[in-house]
Amino acid sequence: MHVIKNIIRYPIKGLSEEYLENIVLKKNQVLPGDREFALARYNVEYNDSNPKHLRKTNFLALVKEEKLATLKSTFNPNTKHLLIKLGENTVIDEYIKDKKSIEKVETFFQEYLNLPINEKPNLVQGIPVKENGGLTHSFSDIPDKAISIVNLNTVKALEEKIGKSINSLRFRGNFLIEDGNPWEEFNWIGKKIHIGGCVLEVFKKTQRCAATIVNPVNGERDINIPKEINTHFGHIDLGVYAKVIKGGKVSILDKLLL
């Protein structure tokens, strides 16, 4: 029987993960605070009064900027305090609440990634919905407001095939689950699953892209994950997406029931 081993969100797209002990999910919403912010490329038009889904290539992300993996960031969604370290050195310590602090963050990424002077990225936000704690827009890889689920035993099955250790953070999932069979999550497509006080409906496999090639610890492109999955299993999918159809609290070690 599957249980939740980790609950993870990524407050700023492309930056570090945040581990949570529990979370309250809202119906038809992403994990609260997940991909709430992103660094849009200089030429991307994002209208926060009428946000639309944009492909990941419109934002700074590991798929193109592997150097992001060498930064370790923490973000407090309540105070908007952003702390970024490069090794032991603090490179950003800002409350991103005003134009000056936001511009300082944007300029840091421009310089860190050696972007041209006229290509400073823009820090953008999916505007929160005050009534239910959700987001009018999240900078997810897909347009649907979904939870990403990764089966750790599936990751182990891939490890065994290629003879290398694979950090599960490559897949940037929200729920990491264990104690089940590899690949069985693909059988959940179209089915409802119960976790804690929530009901989710699994609707799609997660297709893996070049971002998973990047080692999340050192930023090196060291394992071609999509190629390895395809070579050994005949597809490039790992993990599934699910929609929240009944909200509630989810905690670590909660069982996943079909």
- The confidence score (pLDDT) of residue 138 equals 86
Residue 210 belongs to a domain with what CATH number? Answer: 2.40.33
- The confidence score (pLDDT) of residue 140 equals 92
pTM of the full predicted structure?
0.95
Percentage of residues in the chain having pLDDT higher than 90: 88
Tens of pLDDT, residue by residue over 153-191, are: 999 999 999 999 999 999 999 999 999 899 999 999 999
Kindly state whether residue 199 falls inside one of the protein's structural domains: yes
Closest CA to 15 of 57, 54, 51, 65: 65
Percentage of residues in the chain having pLDDT higher than 70: 97
Mean pLDDT of the residues in the chain:
94
Question: Strands 22-25 and 248-251, how do they pair?
Answer: antiparallel
The residue-averaged pLDDT of 209-229 equals: 97
Domain that holds residue 177: 3-15+19-28+141-257
Kindly state whether residue 193 falls inside one of the protein's structural domains: yes
Same domain, yes or no, for 11 and 71? no
Kindly state whether residue 153 falls inside one of the protein's structural domains: yes
- The confidence score (pLDDT) of residue 244 equals 97
Structure tokens at 62: 């590991």
- The confidence score (pLDDT) of residue 37 equals 95
Indicate the residue among 125, 159, 192 that finishes a domain.
125
- The confidence score (pLDDT) of residue 132 equals 54
pLDDT band with cut points at 50, 70 and 90 for residue 77: confident
Q: Is the pLDDT of residue 31 over 90?
A: yes
* Rounded distance between C-alpha atoms, residue 164 and residue 2, angstroms: 24
* Rounded distance between C-alpha atoms, residue 13 and residue 186, angstroms: 26
Indicate the residue among 63, 98, 125 that finishes a domain.
125
Q: Is the pLDDT of residue 131 over 80?
A: no
Beta-carbon-side half-sphere exposure of residue 68 (alpha carbons within 13 Å): 21
